[in-house]
Amino acid sequence: MTRRTTSATAPSTLLRRGEIHSPADPFATAMLVTGDRVAWLGSEAAADALADTADHVVDLDGALVAPAFTDAHVHTTAAGLALTGLDLTEAASLDAALAAVRAYAATRPAGEVLLGHGWDSARWPERRAPHRAELDEAAGGRPLYLSRVDVHSALATTALLDLVPGVTARDGYAADRPLTGDAHHAVRAHAFGALTGARRTEAQRATRARAASLGIGALHECGGPEISSEEDLVALLRLAEDEPGPRVLGYWAELVTDPKDALRVAELGAVGAAGDLFVDGSLGSGTAHLCAPYADGGTGTGLAHLTEEQIATHVALCTEAGLQAGFHAIGDAAVTAVVRGVRAAADRVGAARVRALRHRVEHAELLTGELVAALAELGLVASVQPAFDAAWGGPDGMYADRLGAERAAALNPFAALARAGVPLAFGSDAPVTPLDPWGAVRAAAYHRTPAHRISVRAAFTAHTRGGWRAVGRDDAGVLVPGAPADYALWDTGALLVQAPDDRVARWSTDPRSGTPGLPDLTPGTPAPRCLRTVVGGRTVYDRLNE
């Protein structure tokens, strides 16, 4: 139901007869929003007194109102290209992938550089990537760039390689293997450089629309010179300012070597010189930097892209400029380099100043107890992706193939990080894994390694408030008076409170717990359905009355 009255102040919306997820009042069934802020939460009896003065009254009919999710690691344009173009994440075999390439190529204009994503030969019965000749045939002799699911290696047709001068002399080029390292970056830069402005905007809009439909109110865009372009970042930030949709907070992953570099990053509109500033690669591509060799042979210990001194200089200069720093680090050797570099920076500019900036580590998958303690000591935020464990964890998953069962079981230790006090911010790394916030919460609560599980409540906080804390904002990602009105309405079953237990996950519907409830995310149960997403008091997705 909607009513209109005259108001001399900012427009107000009263939501009532639902369930409001708020630590300020775990029993609240109504919420008042004035302008772009939460103004009040409370009971139905109190809401009666507000109904006649609110500009809009929304009958929730039992729906859950919860803070909007924040996805703390996204590649917006690349994710949109996967949503609107060639996406091989569902290809179950080599033949299926090649058939998808043929079908896609037939739909695209002649002369266009083809872009695709998502192949994963580790899941295919053939256990190998397409040979270049096979890919050339499937693409009809056209230029094609095809990133692996982790985006740290790629396939390219001969026609595309011919457009990149000197590529065969670059590190990471091999005639019989996927491209990695400098060769991959050069080919990717050329392929994405061929995007028209219209195609890029289409992709960015697609990602923001999908995010809004999933109750996501903010995206952390992780751009950088090796994975996108300044033009791409600036265009995305402008789009987010000009059009309704999720907020976009941009990171630019360029190494800072002098104060002018830090100033230039800030001038781009980025909130930090962070995100995918690569210290290493990925486990799937065999390029994550490890202390001990890979278990599957032939890949050594991976690749190291930055030295401890480069890391230290970057963090020190960013700290002095008041700019957040951060790094992509997956393997234990890579995270060790980050820890040592940040410690060295703290020695130069002061530990308190370093901690205050909440510098970030993206992924941080293979951790020892000592590394977990060091992340907490240095105030580093762990920007992590629970869907990685769901996709590749477990005794039969890709991680076990690459690392062996013992090291694979050590990956993504969310419980240890939470116990140590390391701030957690959840994201998808889309298009590496899809935008799926409730799926990420479920994956963290039901981690394939039971010792690494955290409660649904802790996981939900990491995917809502955690993303805001990761950019230095403690006032957002939670529904309390004065907070930004970023929220979503959900169609869900009974709300439950999960109590920690060493043996099982115990659930309660007892309201005397005094804890806001959340949907039942037991594996196999349906995910909540988003009915409406609101950002800054403005509706950006709406299916409430359908």
The tokens 């979503």 sit on which residue?
A: 488
Q: Is residue 407 part of a domain?
A: yes
Beta strand 30-34 with 37-42: parallel, antiparallel or unpaired?
antiparallel
Q: Interhelix angle for 308-320 vs 259-267, to 10°? A: 60
Q: Verify that 333 and 450 share a domain, yes or no.
A: yes
pTM, full prediction: 0.91
DSSP 129: P
Q: Please report whether residue 246 resides in a domain.
A: no
The 8-class DSSP code of residue 363 comes to E
For residues 394 and 301, membership in a common domain is answered with: yes
| Distance from C-alpha of 175 to C-alpha of 179, rounded to nearest angstrom | 9
Residue 419, CA distances (Å) to 92, 251, 372 in order: 39, 28, 10
The separation between the first and the last C-alpha atoms of the chain, rounded to the nearest angstrom, is 13
Q: Is residue 82 part of a domain?
A: yes
pLDDT interval class at 499 (50, 70, 90): low
In a domain, 215, yes or no: no
DSSP run (H or E) holding 133:
helix 132-138
Mean pLDDT of 504-526: 70
- Strand-pair partners of 146: 116, 155
Q: At residue 274, what is the residue type?
A: A
Residues 443 and 533 in one domain: no
Instruction: Identify whether residues 89 and 59 lie together within a single domain.
Output: no
Query: What are 382-428's pLDDT values in tens digits?
Result: 999 999 999 999 999 999 999 999 999 999 999 999 999 999 999 99
Whether residue 152 sits in one domain with residue 114 = yes
pLDDT at residue 539 tops 50:
yes
Spatial distance between the Cα atoms of 458 and 460, rounded to a whole number of angstroms: 5
Residue 512 has pLDDT above 50, yes or no: no
CATH of the domain at 386: 3.20.20.140
Q: Of 194, 223, 257, which marks where a domain is finished?
A: 194
Q: Residue range 357-372: average pLDDT?
A: 98
Q: Which two tokens stand for residue 22?
A: 């708020």
Write out the DSSP string of 234-263.
Answer: HHHHHHHHHSSSSEEEEEE-----SHHHHH
Domain membership flag for residue 511: no
- C-alpha distances (whole Å) from 23 to each of 42, 97, 280 are 12, 47, 39
Residue that finishes a domain, picked among 164, 194, 224: 194
pLDDT level of residue 122 (50, 70, 90 thresholds): confident
Token pair, residue 84, equals 């609107």
Q: Do residues 320 and 378 both lie within one domain? A: yes
Residues of the domain holding 412: 275-471
pLDDT tens digits, 254-297 = 999 999 999 999 999 999 999 999 999 999 989 999 999 999 87
Share of the chain above pLDDT 70, in %: 95
Measured CA distances, 466 to 212, 458, 537 (Å): 18, 10, 21
Laid out side by side, the sheet with 56-59 consists of 37-42, 30-34, 12-16, 56-59
Domain end residue (candidates: 194, 210, 242): 194
Give residue 6's pLDDT: 39
- Cα-Cα-Cα-Cα torsion 459, 460, 462, 463, nearest 10 degrees, comes to 120
Residue 83 maps to a domain:
yes
Give the three-state DSSP class for 67. Answer: strand
Q: What CATH number is attached to the domain comprising 27?
A: 2.30.40.10
pLDDT (tens digit per residue) in 68-116 = 999 999 999 999 999 998 999 899 999 999 999 999 999 988 888 899 8
Q: Is 223 helix (H, G, I), strand (E, B) or coil?
A: strand
Side chain identity, residue 206: A
Owner of token pair 């907490």: 376
313 and 448 belong to one structural domain: yes
Same domain for 315 and 436?
A: yes
Number of domains in the chain: 3
For residues 347 and 433, state if they share a domain. yes
Q: Please, what is the average pLDDT of the chain?
A: 93
Q: Do 403 and 484 sit in the same domain of this protein?
A: no
Same domain, 25 and 93: no
Contact 359, 317 (CB under 8 A): no
CATH number for the domain including 91? 3.10.310.70
Same domain? For 293 and 423 the reply is yes
45 located within any domain: yes
Per the domain annotation, does 204 fall within a domain? no
